Amino acid sequence: MPVYLHHPWFLLLLPLAALPYLRKRQGALRFPGMDFFPADPFSEQLARLRRASAALGIGLLGIALTAPESVSQQWIARVGQGAHVVLLVDRSSSMNENFSGSYLGGAAKESKSALTAQLLSDFVAQRPDDAFALVIFSAAPVFVLPLTQDQVALQAALKSLASRGHGITNIATGLEMALDHFRHNTGDESRMIVLVSDGAARMDAEARDLIRQRFQDTQVALYWIYMRSPRSGSLAKAPANANETSSPEYFLHQFFQSMGTPYQAFEAENLEAVQQAIATVGQRNHRPVHYKIRAPGHDLTRWFLAPAWCFLFVYTAFAALEFRR
């Protein structure tokens, strides 16, 4: 049976169990003719039992302090209402700006990165039945978390998004890594990618064909929360003399619309617009989600603590019976 120790560092106390065997008797009676006293094997056995009780008591107490818990090998099937969601978050240097386009650095609470971290944290907390994954990207994508319902791990990962971003925006490789989470997903649960970015970059024809095919194969819904700055282009209106170099966001939006899979974009120019976009996404794609959780284990502390106190009680009783003068 596997056992998990919540505080394994208490095992460092186990060598203290040798102290009763290292300690010399204190206050032993001294007589000039000890050899004339008859042998007392019963007392010698009691002395050994006393030392053994102290050693076992200390050792078992050290194990009990580690808070051992049995790890169950059984899994319990559960059915919830939710989706499998991959959060694909832009970590480029432009995310250090606020919505007015002013650069604030990595520590400012008004930066797009900090606002994204807070709003996505609230979004995840409100959907406990969903399984979330996290991928971040700038020039290259970074795998952060697989699909999980571990709220502690998710919140810790999202908190790190408030730090300073670096590099340029390369959405293509980020989308490919996000789609990898659904490569072997054959269930009937809802699947979606939530893309949070304030810009885009030119995507070559090979990357577009690959991404289009993978979206069609997996039928993953895509939601793009476009955190638009004043100098950024609009998604709905083609700018004058538009091309993929000067207006990559507009052409990326056109590409997403042409994939033939569920897609919706949200142009967010302020905090309230981002909140509304995330709230709208939160109302989508609620289907039955089948998942398994490990059955809880059993706390084994009492199985070590109870005998530890018994052995220490025996040791104390022998100490009280010791003849001292």
pLDDT digits (tens, 9 = 90+) for 262-296: 999 998 888 888 888 888 887 766 666 666 666 77
Decide if 82 is inside a domain.
yes
Question: For the chain, what is the domain count?
Answer: 2
Say if residue 230 is in the same domain as residue 93. Answer: yes
| List of residues 6+ apart from 80 with CB closer than 8 A | 129, 288, 289, 291
Say if residue 316 is in the same domain as residue 265. Answer: no
Residue 217: give the domain boundaries.
75-292
CATH of residue 93: 3.40.50.410
Decide if 32 is inside a domain.
no
Full 3-state SS string of 229-282:
CCCCCCCCCCCCCCCCCCCHHHHHHHHHHCCCCCEEEEEECCHHHHHHHHHHHH
Q: Average of pLDDT values for 80-95?
A: 84
Say if residue 119 is in the same domain as residue 219. Answer: yes
Cα–Cα distance list, 181 to 8, 92, 171, 176 (Å): 34, 22, 16, 9
For residues 128 and 151, the answer to whether their CB atoms sit within 8 Å is: yes
pLDDT at 141 over 60: yes
Give CA angle at 295 (291, 298), nearest 5°: 165
Which of 288, 291, 295, 296 shows the shortest CA–CA distance to 77? 291
Say if residue 170 is in the same domain as residue 51. Answer: no
pLDDT at 177 over 90: yes
What is the pLDDT confidence band of residue 41, given thresholds at 50, 70 and 90?
confident
Cite the DSSP H helix spans in the chain: 19-22, 41-65, 112-125, 151-159, 171-180, 205-218, 248-257, 271-282, 301-321
Three-state secondary structure call for residue 227? strand
Return the amino acid letter for 9.
Answer: W
Q: Are strands 3-5 and 190-197 parallel, antiparallel or unpaired?
A: unpaired
Average pLDDT value for the chain: 82
Decide if 157 is inside a domain.
yes
What is the pLDDT confidence band of residue 32, given thresholds at 50, 70 and 90?
low
Can you tell me the distance from the alpha carbon of 207 to that of 113, in angstroms, rounded to the nearest whole number?
27
pLDDT digits (tens, 9 = 90+) for 240-263: 666 666 678 888 888 999 998 999
Say if residue 90 is in the same domain as residue 188. Answer: yes
Q: Are strands 190-197 and 75-90 parallel, antiparallel or unpaired?
A: parallel
Decide if 194 is inside a domain.
yes
Decide if 33 is inside a domain.
no
Say if residue 14 is in the same domain as residue 162. Answer: no
pLDDT digits (tens, 9 = 90+) for 295-307: 777 888 889 999 9
In angstroms, how far is CA 238 from the centroid of its own chain? 41
Output the pTM of the full model: 0.64
Decide if 106 is inside a domain.
yes
Say if residue 180 is in the same domain as residue 233. Answer: yes
Say if residue 79 is in the same domain as residue 106. Answer: yes
For residues 280 and 266, the answer to whether their CB atoms sit within 8 Å is: yes
Which of 115, 60, 40 shows the shortest CA–CA distance to 278? 115
Say if residue 204 is in the same domain as residue 310. Answer: no
Decide if 154 is inside a domain.
yes
What is the pLDDT confidence band of residue 56, given thresholds at 50, 70 and 90?
very high
Decide if 23 is inside a domain.
yes
Q: What share of the chain is helix, strand, coil (3-state, %, to 5)?
A: 45, 20, 35
Say if residue 8 is in the same domain as residue 112. Answer: no
Say if residue 245 is in the same domain as residue 104. Answer: yes
Say if residue 172 is in the same domain as residue 309. Answer: no
